[in-house]
Amino acid sequence: MRLTRQSSYAIRTLIYCAVNDPDLSRVADIAKAHAISELFLFKLIKPLVEAGLIETVRGRHGGIRLGRPAEEITLLDTVRLTEDNFTMAECFEDGEITCPLVDSCDVNAALREALGAFFEVLESHTIADLASKRRSLRQRLGLKFEDMEPVLIAQSAN
């Protein structure tokens, strides 16, 4: 199984917003950081907004941010939203199935178990988990380091 580009970019967008928190993120900056089209990103953001994973702020200094805390957004939330289906074999499909073994095949059960395990793992990881290396991610995404971070580190050393 391979995830679509939509899933990959949706996850990356959520991570970008998480590491850029509390600042708003601009679509142009996210697109540039990931070398993707702004138009593609705008289309991708729409379902994320509708699902409450992202919220938009309009205006001259507007942008996007996470719609709820990063700790509450799982990879499963994102992947379920961005993937069309999880059909691993013909027996997962609705409609006419031509396989004569469909009612007595152990492959179907094994694939359903594998898909369940896949969903379990995705549900166990949050955007906060993926954004935990904030400083490194900010650098890789071309974001400035927080001005207060060195001050906080110096204060905690005292």
Domain range list for the chain: 5-146
Residue 134: its pLDDT value, please? 74
**How far is Cα 151 from Cα 128, in angstroms, rounded to an integer?**
23
N-term to C-term CA, the chain = 51
Residue 101: its pLDDT value, please? 66
**How far is Cα 139 from Cα 137, in angstroms, rounded to an integer?**
5
Cα-flanking dihedrals φ and ψ of residue 72, to 5°? Answer: -105, 0
Residues of the chain with pLDDT under 70: 1, 88-95, 101-103, 145-158
Residue 84: its pLDDT value, please? 85
Residue 144: its pLDDT value, please? 72
Residue 102: its pLDDT value, please? 67
User: Which residue type occupies 61?
Assistant: H
Residue 138: its pLDDT value, please? 73
Residue 89: its pLDDT value, please? 65
* CATH code of the domain occupying 5-146: 1.10.10.10
